[in-house]
Structure 1
Amino acid sequence: QVRTPDANPGTFCLAPVIDGAFLPEHPLDAFRGGRAHRVPLIIGTNDREGAIFRGRANVLPRSPWRIQALFDHAPEDSHDEMRAAYPGLPIKRAAADFGGDYAFWYPSIVVAGLHSRFAPVHFYRFDIAPRVMHLLGLDATHGIEMYALFDQVDSPFARTMTALGGREPFNRAGERMRRHWLHFACTGIVEGNWPRYTESDRLTLIIDVVDRVEADPRGERRRVWQRFLPGL
């Protein structure tokens, strides 16, 4: 797990293997061709997925070498646009966001768009983060939504995370998420003002202190990734 990101930047050692039997084709090909199960889908990511992947968890393409390796395989005419999308790349914050968007956000956007051609999709972005997470430079990073969604705000980590404030808004965000998820699990339909995601408008529920819906959030960044990874 530690060696793979350097030996093959952008690759993860723990991943499905297309063997022609259990997994007969690449999942994106199945979504693109409408061969994925045509069921309603909730999908989304956190605001800054890549911020937490450092130290022993440094498995994303966020080092200068790993980032350059991805640039080497991308169309040259997309390089300047990508650097403009992440000002200061490869400095730490820009590199963390680049790596997180590569691994989590952009693939989720692709899946949501493809699946929306055949079945209802609802996309979210989890933005709310307690003050401690902002002070640490992590913000709404990978995994913290689980503490809200699964009502784990009394766990030791969540208590530490909310020690300087933000506990109640974080807890209320989790309550709203549970209502959405449980209603969806029971009926296949989301409750409230959460519109369907389509490739034409990309309406996204932003989960924050006050939830809101945005059309194609970070749309310019999405278009840059389309040019940077045209084969995805």
Structure 2
Amino acid sequence: MRVHIFTPRFEVTRWLVTAVVVTGLIAAVSPMARTEAAPTDTGSDPVVTVTGGPIRGLRSDGIVEYLGVPFAAPTTGENRFAPPQPAAPWTDPRPAITHSPQCPQASPMPLGMALQESSEDCLSIDIYVPQNAGDTALPVMVWLYGGAFVLGSNAQYDSPARLVREGKVIVAIPNYRVGPFGFLALPELAESTGGVAGTYGTLDQQAALRWIQDNATAFGGDPGNVTIFGESAGGMSVCTQLASPMARGLFHRAIIESGSCARSPLAPPSKDIAFQRSADYAASFGCHDPQTRLQCLRALPADRLTDSATTQLNSMAVTWSPVLDGVVVTAAPEQALAAGAAHGMPLIVGSNADEGATFIALLDYARATTPTATDYLHWTRELFGDNADQVLTRYPPADFVTPAKAKERVITDGFFACPALFTAEAARSGGAQVWQYRFNDAPLGHNPLLPGAFHAAEIPYVFSALMGVAIPLPPAADQLSRHIQQSWAQFAHTGDPVTAAFTAWPTTPGSTLEMGSDRITIGDSFARQHHCDLWSDIGHIG
């Protein structure tokens, strides 16, 4: 199926920035429709039987794809704001050659253009399997998508063909609920579910992981060798699963890309904070009375519930994220890691050199604004409160070419780089083995709108195609992509990411693998370059 997009005239700067962000393949943008290509391999369509019934896949690009396979029931009616329920079984082979709809979410595109259908019947999983897997049970890598917990779908990540084909791994990508659908938390919800509140998206992920445990062998996979990995909110999802006692035994290794477990605005809030945020959200729709507001919210159409500023990426502050409900998530991820939640587990933790560029593009340039020195001072004081003077002393606007560059560096260091370091430190103190990296490549060069190794810039190096579009990396960048894919695949196989290209990658504190298409080196100045001494004294960022 092809979607034809018509672009009426509107403010030119906003459109250009949005276009750059989309073509930059960042995780905070809804996917384009998948362009169906003719299968490149001959033979009958493969059929396997999974929980629920038989499914029929598609051979393409040297792998086999099984798309849109339901792992849970639709989340309508009483299943809205509730833990996922089993999918209804079927008898005849079910075509599994197209993605399911994405879970309900506001469109990030200009004028609200929808690039993918949304539905509450969205809890499906896409599975990518090597065509010639051999007789050895393969490791399974489960990707959890990003999007600030308000956006995202598995259709964005179509496809990981080269990682699957050459790495001899199975990649599975589940949908999970986002925004209020995934993270609404109210006392009456907790009372009706044994304390579960604001963790439905997290439970969706766990339901998918249990589905993998039950069905991996049907695809030639090893349920005893599962790696979870994700970027941005997907990285925080990995952190949340590490912190959840209900996820124990569902995975065995983890990769956290630009979504640190420590000091993040996406870190799980307390129940009291989440209850207040959700009560305010309900009241905005006229659902005020605690006795009836849950019924009131469940009666509203799904698209009405996404008509809220809280469901859009408008600032570095967030409303929706997994909640410390005491049942699904029992400790903040940083504290859980330090207490041994990942004891004995291999972890890869990393960040990108210019993370902040994405947010300047989305939150400033896409709104046809350029931060001034006054804007920068106001933003810093609003976001960091009592710590603002410390931040401004270390990042004075006079030290940067423009106030935008100062803001970009604060976001890079405070929201991503140092939290990645703190995550690695907490995990090591709790007995995990951690390899830390910094991604330094610039897939779009040093253009003025989205320069350098921006947030999510590494994703095109992990996947072969995104949003249904092949990724045309230049030769040196494509070689780096191969190195990353080889390392990630080896990590999934053995728990060790060190390859010939990434040799001498140590697990010692303070060491990072510096990834670039021009050079790959081991660095020891990460904390100093990103002013992590400053950020270590700030308990919560954002």
Q: Tell me which interval the TM-score lies in, with the shorter structure as reference length.
A: 0.7 to 0.9
Q: 1:158 to 1:9 in 2, by over 3 A?
A: closer
Q: For CA contacts below 8 A with separation 6 or more, give which structure has more relative contact order.
A: 1
Q: 1:86 to 1:222 in 2, by over 3 A?
A: farther
Q: Which has the higher helix share?
A: 1
The structural deviation recorded for 1:121 is: 0.4
User: SS of 1:135's equivalent?
Assistant: coil
Distance (whole Å) between structure 1 residues aligned to residue 397 and residue 424 of structure 2: 22
Distance (whole Å) between structure 2 residues aligned to residue 196 and residue 148 of structure 1: 22
Which among 498, 510, 525 is matched to residue 216 of structure 1?
Answer: 525
User: SS of 1:133's equivalent?
Assistant: coil
The structural deviation recorded for 1:181 is: 0.6
Query: Percent of counterpart pairs with the same letter?
Result: 22
Which among 461, 486, 510 is matched to residue 179 of structure 1?
Answer: 486
Residue by residue over 1:63-104, the C-alpha shift from the partner in whole angstroms, topping out at 9 and shown as x without a partner, is 53331124422285x346422599349800120121232222
Task: Name the counterpart of 1:106.
Answer: 418
Task: Name the counterpart of 1:126.
Answer: 439
Q: Is the 8 A contact 1:116 1:197 kept in 2?
A: no
2:427 corresponds to 1:115 = yes
Residue type of the alignment partner of 1:191: V
The structural deviation recorded for 1:55 is: 5.4
User: SS of 1:140's equivalent?
Assistant: coil
2:478 corresponds to 1:195 = no
User: SS of 2:465's equivalent?
Assistant: coil
Aligned residues: 216
Q: Is the 8 A contact 1:203 1:213 kept in 2?
A: yes
Greater mean alpha carbon deviation, residues 85-94 or residues 209-218: 85-94
Distance (whole Å) between structure 2 residues aligned to residue 106 and residue 100 of structure 1: 8
Distance (whole Å) between structure 1 residues aligned to residue 388 and residue 408 of structure 2: 22
Unaligned residue ranges in structure 2 (runs of 5+): 1-149, 151-307, 365-370
Task: Name the counterpart of 2:318.
Answer: 12
Task: Name the counterpart of 1:145.
Answer: 458
Q: Which has the higher strand share?
A: 2
Residue type of the alignment partner of 1:116: R
The structural deviation recorded for 1:56 is: 4.6
Which among 322, 338, 341 is matched to residue 32 of structure 1?
Answer: 338
Distance (whole Å) between structure 1 residues aligned to residue 526 and residue 408 of structure 2: 19
Greater mean alpha carbon deviation, residues 102-111 or residues 82-91: 82-91
2:514 corresponds to 1:206 = yes
User: SS of 2:445's equivalent?
Assistant: helix
With normalisation by structure 1, the TM-score equals 0.78
The structural deviation recorded for 1:37 is: 5.1
Unaligned residue ranges in structure 1 (runs of 5+): none
With normalisation by structure 2, the TM-score equals 0.36
Residue by residue over 1:45-70, the C-alpha shift from the partner in whole angstroms, topping out at 9 and shown as x without a partner, is 11101101145556xxx853331124
User: SS of 1:175's equivalent?
Assistant: helix
Q: Is the 8 A contact 1:83 1:89 kept in 2?
A: no
